[in-house]
Amino acid sequence: MSELRQDLTTREWVIIATDRARRPQEFTATDGGKKAAQLPPYSETCPFCPGNEKFTPEENFRINQVGKSGPSDWQTRVIPNKFPALSPKSELTRLPDHIFNRVNGYGYHEVVIETPFHNRPLALMEVGEIEKAIQTIRGRYEAMRADPKVRLIVVFKNHGRAAGTSLEHPHFQIVGVPIVPGGVRSRIEVAERYYDDTGNCVYCAVMEHEIKDKERIILETEYFIAFHPFASRMPFETWIMPCGHITSFGGPQPDLPSTLAPVLKQVQAKLYHGLNDPDFNLILHTAPLADEDAPYYHWHIQILPRLTLQAGFELGSGIYITTALPEETAKFMRDIPVN
């Protein structure tokens, strides 16, 4: 029998199709684009590789390699997206069109190149390198946060062709938008209502339960937990959440890069080795800037491996059908040895 499960944090439902369920190891990625292991460390034609800086828009942030300062000696580098969805060069003006809302494309759209190596995804990076990548993202997050016209900052990564990336070289993207979209608004409203009813943060409640239950936990440190959510939308959906109740990814949190880096590394390495470098989207969910002091929201990372395809039913109903049990995939992840 299949079952329907509800995500407490969104009130959305999923169908866990246990009749069609596959064993966790059956999700190993076999097709898609080239895997990191097949790529060279440097590509002459890649605009993100060191030495090719002239092919990108002018950078607005970098961390150099220790003790080096040459033009190509960077460890991380941030550039405006060459084809930005939004730009800070435009004005923020509302241009209503009869009954429709319209705002011109004000905002930020930047690319964080987190490694000089063409073939080194997060799973293969050193923890110290990931720490620098997080520092870089935080630096740009703070810069966008300082602009009062920005309402929400979205940090994400598309890894692999099935996740929508067009460039092989590992990179994150950060988009600062001048509006709060309905999906984010809805998450906030669900969290606010839960807080009104219980006096608790819904994310803290989920986390406390998962820690007690243990079945869906992948790993736990003093600062973060990683788990497969009860109502996973897709096989191996993974959430990483700070154990302390922290509303926003932004603001002064000096220990964040060093405490998050080892957890992100472990989770990525387990996916990489356990499922043969699957394509995935990584999304950082954080409070809109106006809600940063709200007691009911809790920032977290969601990793969505693209191992199955969504189709008409998902688009039409918003109900995802997933063909794996998160209890089984979490156990599979726990058992994958990584250093």
Residue 66: other Cβ atoms inside 10 A? 9
Q: Which of 77, 169, 228, 265 binds Zn ion (CB under 5 A)?
A: 169
Least CB distance from residue 267 to Zn ion, whole Å? 20
- Among the listed ranges 136-144, 199-207, 216-224, 230-238, the one in contact with Zn ion (CB under 5 A) is 199-207
Closest contact distance (angstroms) between CB of 165 and Zn ion is 12
Pick out residues in 57-116 that bind Zn ion (CB under 5 A).
none
DSSP 62: E
Q: Which of 11, 245, 331, 334 is close enough to bind Zn ion by CB under 5 A?
A: 245
| Residue 285 sits in the site that holds Zn ion (CB under 5 A) | no
Tell me the residue type at 307: L
Sheet holding 320-322: strands in order across?
Answer: 3-6, 13-16, 320-322
By rule CB under 5 A, what count of residues binds Zn ion? 11
The sign of the dihedral angle between the CA atoms of 295, 243, 307, 23 is: negative
Q: Which is nearer to Zn ion, 203 or 280 (CB)?
A: 203
Nearer to Zn ion, 49 or 321 (CB): 49
Place of tokens 């950060």: 174
Q: Which of 27, 48, 194, 230 binds Zn ion (CB under 5 A)?
A: 48
Residue number with CB closer to Zn ion (36 or 177): 36
User: Based on CB atoms, which residue is closest to Zn ion, 198 or 317?
Assistant: 198
Q: Which of 36, 49, 79, 206 binds Zn ion (CB under 5 A)?
A: 49
Residue 123 makes CB contacts below 8 A (sequence gap 6+) with 36, 265, 268, 269, 271, 272, 273, 277
* Residue of 204, 243, 283, 338 interacting with Zn ion (CB under 5 A): 204
Q: Which stretch binds Zn ion (CB under 5 A): 59-67, 108-116, 193-201, 211-219?
A: 193-201
What one-letter code names the amino acid at 317? Answer: S
Site membership for Zn ion, residue 118 (CB under 5 A):
yes
The Cα 24–Cα 274 span in angstroms is 9
Report how many helices (DSSP H) and strands (DSSP E) the chain contains, helices first: 6, 13
Nearer to Zn ion, 67 or 70 (CB): 70
Minimum CB separation of residue 50 from Zn ion in Å reads 8
Q: Does 243 bind Zn ion (CB under 5 A)?
A: no
Stretch that binds Zn ion, among 105-113, 182-190, 271-279, 291-299 (CB under 5 A): 291-299
What would the 3-class secondary structure string for 173-242 be? Answer: EEEEECCCCHHHHHHHHHHHHHHHHHCCCHHHHHHHHHHHHCCCEEEECCCEEEECCCCCCCCCCEEEEE
Question: Distance between CA atoms of 67 and 20, rounded to whole angstroms?
Answer: 55
Secondary element (H or E) of residue 130? helix 127-145
Active site residues: 171
Listed ranges 59-67, 260-268, 296-304, 310-318: which one lies at the site for Zn ion (CB under 5 A): 296-304
Q: Identify the residue among 11, 21, 32, 46 touching Zn ion (CB under 5 A).
A: 46
Beta strand 13-16 pairing with 238-242 = unpaired
Site residues for Zn ion, window 16-45 (CB under 5 A)? Answer: 43
Binding site for Zn ion (CB under 5 A): 43, 46, 48-49, 118, 169, 201, 203-204, 245, 298
